[in-house]
Every structure is written in structure tokens, then in C-alpha cells.
Structure 1
Amino acid sequence: MSVTRLAIFLSVVLSVTAGIHYYLWARLVRDVAWPAPWHTWLSVAVIALAVLMPLGLMLTRLLPHRVTSPIMWVLFSWMGLMFFLFVLLIPADLMRGVASLIDHIGGAPPDPARRLLIARLFAGAVGLGGLGMATWGFYSAMRPVAVKPVQIAITDLPANFHGFRIVQLSDIHVGPTIGRAFIDQLVARTNALQPDLIAITGDLVDGSVAKLGHFVTPLAKLRARHGVFFVTGNHEYFSGADAWIAHLRSLGVTVLRNERVTLEQDGHHIDLAGIDDPTGRSFAAGHGSDLPRALAGRDPKRPLILLAHQPRGADAAADHGVDLQLSGHTHGGQIFPFNLLVGLQQPYVAGLHRLRDMSIYVSTGTGYWGPPMRLGVPAEITDITLHPA
């Protein structure tokens, strides 16, 4: 990423962060007119959180994981609560605006006491609502990840591949708040499913190999008849993709970088291809998705499964005769109503979809990113079974 693009990105992030924190302070502290010293302490807390949020993200790159992890638990939890408060304040402000307009049209004189009462009622409702949503979201993210069975039909699937099972793991995001214990449990539960193939569709980590490499070593214990395969996500490129690719290969994971392998079962064959995340072009020479290269020389009579981190390349995949694309990236939105915004950037947000002759499955993610919360969008270990169309 160029210095100019990085500067623009940071400017936007800092401006948005500052703006949201000011809005929360104005509605939940200033307008409520908290008595001293609560007003002062709450104001200081909001300012401190606004400063620490971007600072904390930078510190994760500089300080040891054991130092930054407790800080990031606090900041990411606040990030989730902040989102819920912001989302609830918007309709609350609309209702207050409508009430003020009605009073103005009716010629009612200004009543500061009534205005303060309304501000406190709305602030209380928003505060309780936000805390409730954050608490439920935290519980949803912390409980064991559910195994989600999915049946997918493949045209001309060879008879020996009927019932072929793929476990898809995606968007685990090992990092500040997800560590080795999560990976240990994930490996045990995945192996218990006894899949034919394991596919990890990107965004495994949020940090360097030096800091997080030992957290993912249990992946070496993953077992599947046809092996474990991985494709890069955008977060690998934020974390040193080449080093992670080498590290995963040392654990026995096959990393598909715009390439294809043939899976054989009792004399019958299907193809499995994987492409880099398109983000790679901006971070490292020789990286970035190249679907034609991955599919060069393939036998079009063989069913083809494609691992691609982002769903947005589905049109190109369908054009190239892919039968099934497995993707992640979206987290299904992770936190309602953020899933409504994800749909503006990605053609598919979650679940199984059909695009012409191709099926595409988008995982909601096995971990989470940022706030340790999921609301309305549970995490999943996807247990895919193939059968003939």
C-alpha cells in the first residue's frame, strides 16, 4: 500500500472515530447534563477511548501479544458497544426531531425542563439497549462455534465423490482476542467430523508470524483424507503474507496460490483450485488473484471447486466454468445491522447461492474480527456434503 493511500485511509478512520465519539458524548453526556463529577469523568472516558482506539491498533504491531491483548479486549469491547449505541441513537434523534418539529408547528414555547427530561429518557433507553445488545453479542461470540451442515449439488459429480465432505473454516482472525485455546478446540472439533478435505478460506490471522505463529501450530494436527488447503485473505497481506504462507506450509497445509490440484478417488477425479486475495496486488509483487492462471490446462469435464476469500469474484468464476466457489470475508455482517452495509460491497453476504451454473457458498466466519461480539449472525464450522445435481 502506498504512503498516500495509507495516509488517506488513516485520515478517514481517525475522522470517523472522532466524529462518532463526539456524537456519543453530545447525546449521552452533554445533553443529559450529568451532575459533577460524573460529567467530567464521563467526558474524560470518552476522550480517552477515542484516542486509545487507533493508538491501540498501532500498539498491537509494536508490543508483545501478552501486553496488548488485555488492552485490545477492552478497546474492541468498547468498539462493539459504541456501534450499538450509535445505531440506536440515530432513530432516537429522529424521534426527538419529529417531536421538536411538532412543538414548533404547534407554537409551543421552549421548555428547557421538558427538553432535559426527554434527553435523559432517550439516553437511558439507548444506554440500556446498547448494553443489552453488546452483552448478547458477546455471549454469542464466546459460546462454542456451531457446526453447520450444508448440502451442495454438483453437476456431473463422479459417483465415487457422492457424499464427499469438505469442512470449511474461514475468517478465524487469530490475534489480540483469539489465541491458541480457540485453535486447539477448532482442530479437535474439525477432526471429529472426519472430513475428506479441509478448506481454510483466508483471514486466518491478524498479526505477524513472530507474534502469532505458535498460536496456529495446532493446525498441523488437522486430518483429512485429501489434505488441508488454504488461500490468502486480505488480512494475511496486512500481516506479512509470504511469511505466513511459508509457516503454514511448514505445518503441512497446502497453500494454493493461483493454482490447481486434482483430487483422485478410486479412479475418479475432481479439481480443486485456489486464488490469492485481490488485495495482494497492493502489498507484494507477484501476489493478487489470477483465475485464468489457476485454471490453465484444466479438463473442463471435471467438476471444479474454487477457494476464493472474497465472494465478489463470483461472476468471473462462473464465466470460467467453476462448479462451486467457497468464500468467506463478509462474516455475514457479524453484527446486525452491519450485514445490511456489507451487501453494498459484496454480491453475496452469507449462505448458499446460485449464479448461472455455479453454486457459491459464503461462510459467516469461524471466528470474529474486532469486537468479540456476534449479533444475529452466528459463527460456523461449515460441514459441506457434495451430491450430484
Structure 2
Amino acid sequence: MISNYWLGILLYLILAVLMADAICFLLFLITKRRLKCRTAAAGGICAVVVLGLSAWGAYNARIIQVTPYEITVNKDGGRLENLNVVLAADLHLGYNIGTAHMMQMVDKINEQNADIVVFAGDIFDNEYEALDDPEELIAVLQKIQSKYGVYACYGNHDVEEKILAGFTFGGNKKKESSIQMDEFLERAGIHLLQDEAVLIDDSFYLYGRPDAQRPGRGINMRKTAAELMGELDTEKPVIVIDHEPKELQELADAGVDIDLCGHTHDGQMFPANLITALMWENSYGYLKKDHMHTIVTSGVGLFGPNMRVGTIAEICPITVHFQYRNNI
């Protein structure tokens, strides 16, 4: 935990020093003379700015906000006219995130009157042994209220490997979740979907994809978008939970209606969110890809630095309206 805090502070220390040197260099170019070095003053200002920013980031990371969405799927919802989905992702249970944070999350979820709750991967932070109190965490997660239940897919961190300050170790062998992780979810009342679908209330499908890079135990290569849709009745609405917001065009072409993701953390710490926006077609928020709605959440928890600067921790209640195609 100490190394996680230090990593965040160190990143901003490096950024502050680079900015201070850049300002001095620009002043030299403008004035054409070297300014007297004010090392103590400059260092003091940098220290105050970095510590203030880090303290705010650590505090902000502990506040879970609610970001609502409302979308319309042009399909018959069967018995349903509307569906209230609550999306959460990236809990990263471990050194950074523990029981207190989960209690806050569960309270926020239960305020939304959810029909179904979905976790889009990275429930754990690599080491099951890092959980502060597994029994208490299970008891907290069991309190999630949802008409149709709670479902999840695994992400790239839902595997057992050593981790230090955001860096993982363990060689090149296939990474898999531990049996303890699987049992934890089962006891917590969270249904893990591993490259499989469930038909809910004979009205819509929920499909959970394994992670693209680390598909997990018993899966060498996950099904393609076309393969997973080939098993379903495409007249019914199809909701996919997929940890990484990848293959958006493939999923849209295959006929998926809603794709719910996490993974990016929206960069977690400024200016990383500017970088993630360049890396992903949809790095955060809502994007409509042809007929498909895709929503990427910044997540509930943290990875690496124990801070959030310029981003938020959140859950996302999504109101889904269904309508017949011939009524468009």
C-alpha cells in the first residue's frame, strides 16, 4: 500500500520537476539571460503542489459517484418495456480497495433499484491474499439488491500473480484465476460468466466474455463476436459484458445491442486520461457504434497509484428502453 501511494507521488514529482525546468528554459529563451537559481523556493513550490495534488487524489479516489445513462434498443424486450442495469467494474479488491469502499459501493448500487447488476471485470487485484477480510467482503457483496441477480466477467487482473506498485510478476506461464477467487464470487452471490450467455426472464441475453489477453482457466481462446452471437436468438436483445472495450466494430457487426466495459479507468490520473483517449475508440463514457450502444466506466477501484486526479470512481445506472423495430 505504501508503494502504491509512493508511485503516485513519484509520478507527479517527476512531472513537476520537468515543468519547472521547462519554465526556466522558456524564461531563458525570452530574457536571453540566466536567472539566479532559487532552488529552495522552486523545490518548496513543487513539493506543496505535488503533496496537495496527491492528497486530493487519494481523497477523491474514495468517493464513489453515480453516472447515469439512458439508451433505447430497437428490439422487442419480451416481457420488459424497460430494464434498469447497474454497471460497475475494476473493483481491484486488494491492497488499495477493501471492505469500507465496498460498503459504499453496495449502498450506491442499492439506491438505484436495479433489475440486474453487472461487474465488467477486474474484481480482484491479482493477489487473493491481499484481501483485507474475505469473509466480511463476501457478507457485504451479498447485500447487493437486484431483481435478476448479479453477474460478472473476469478481467486481466483476475488472475493469481504477485504485484508490487502496479508491476506484476510470475513469468510467462498461463495466468489463471485462483480457485479461491471463483469460490469467493460464488459465495458472494455473483454469477461468473465465462464465455457464455444466460437468457433472463425469457426477454434478453446477458453474455460474459473472458478477457482478451488472459482468458483464464479452461479457455485458450475466447469466442469471436460472430461465434458468440451464433449461439443466440438475435431477435432478442443481447447485452455483452467485456472487460476491455475492444472489438467494438466486430461486436456491432455481429448484432450485439449493448456492450458494457471497464479496464481503462479513464486514465485514473491526469494526464493519463489524455493518453487513454488516444488508445481506445471509446476510452470512457458512451459511444454508439452503428446500432450498438457501448458504455465504458472509469471503475470503482484503483490499480497501482492509490489516487484519482481528473477522473472519478463511479457506478453507472443504465436505463434501457425497448421498442419494436417497426415502431421506429
TM-score range, shorter chain: 0.7 to 0.9
Q: Is the 8 A contact 2:229 2:255 kept in 1?
A: no
- 1:188 aligns with 107
Partner residue of 2:135 out of 211, 214, 227: 214
Consecutive unaligned residues of structure 1, counting only runs of 5 or more, are 1-71
Quote the Cα distance in structure 1 between the aligned partners of 2:183 and 2:213. 19
Q: Deviations over 1:132-171 (max 9, x none)?
A: 211221221123x112221122122426433310111111
| 92-101 or 248-257: bigger deviation | 92-101
Matches within 5 A, 1:296-311: 296-311=230-245
Quote the Cα distance in structure 2 between the aligned partners of 1:335 and 1:304. 33
Query: Which structure's residues are more often helix, by fraction?
Result: 1
Q: Deviations over 1:283-323 (max 9, x none)?
A: 65525532344333211211111000001222221121111
Quote the Cα distance in structure 2 between the aligned partners of 1:313 and 1:90. 37
Quote the Cα distance in structure 1 between the aligned partners of 2:70 and 2:264. 21
- 1:92 aligns with 20
- 1:154 aligns with 73
SS at match of 1:183: helix
Q: 1:368 to 1:215 in 2, by over 3 A?
A: farther
Whether 1:241 aligns to 2:177 is: yes
- 2:55 aligns with 135
- 2:94 aligns with 175
Q: Among all aligned residue pairs of Structure 1 and Structure 2, give the percentage whose two residues are the same amino acid.
A: 28
- 1:273 aligns with 207
Q: 1:385 to 1:257 in 2, by over 3 A?
A: same
- 2:37 aligns with 116
Quote the Cα distance in structure 1 between the aligned partners of 2:22 and 2:222. 44
Which of the pair has more CA radius of gyration? 1
Quote the Cα distance in structure 1 between the aligned partners of 2:106 and 2:275. 32
Matches within 5 A, 1:31-42: none
Quote the Cα distance in structure 1 between the aligned partners of 2:43 and 2:129. 45
Matches within 5 A, 1:33-112: 72=1, 74-101=2-29, 106=32, 108=33
Q: Is the 8 A contact 1:352 1:361 kept in 2?
A: yes
- Which AA in structure 2 matches 1:290? K
Whether 1:365 aligns to 2:303 is: no
Q: Count how many residue pairs are aligned between Structure 1 and Structure 2.
A: 304
Whether 1:257 aligns to 2:194 is: yes
Quote the Cα distance in structure 2 between the aligned partners of 1:138 and 1:157. 45
Quote the Cα distance in structure 1 between the aligned partners of 2:209 and 2:113. 25
Q: Is the 8 A contact 1:259 1:295 kept in 2?
A: no
Quote the Cα distance in structure 1 between the aligned partners of 2:297 and 2:184. 24
Q: Deviations over 1:72-119 (max 9, x none)?
A: 1x322222222222223333222222334456xx5x5xx6xx4422x4
- 1:316 aligns with 250
- 2:164 aligns with none
Q: Give the TM-score normalised by structure 2.
A: 0.84
Structure with the bigger RCO (C-alpha within 8 Å, sep 6+) is: 2
Q: Is the 8 A contact 1:324 1:360 kept in 2?
A: yes
Q: Deviations over 1:28-87 (max 9, x none)?
A: xxxxxxxxxxxxxxxxxxxxxxxxxxxxxxxxxxxxxxxxxxxx1x32222222222222
SS at match of 2:286: strand
Q: Is the 8 A contact 1:237 1:279 kept in 2?
A: no
Quote the Cα distance in structure 2 between the aligned partners of 1:186 and 1:287. 33
Quote the Cα distance in structure 2 between the aligned partners of 1:173 and 1:138. 15
SS at match of 1:88: helix
Consecutive unaligned residues of structure 2, counting only runs of 5 or more, are 162-175, 324-328
- 2:165 aligns with none
RMSD: 2.3
- Which AA in structure 2 matches 1:320? A
Query: Which structure's residues are more often strand, by fraction?
Result: 2
Q: Give the TM-score normalised by structure 1.
A: 0.72
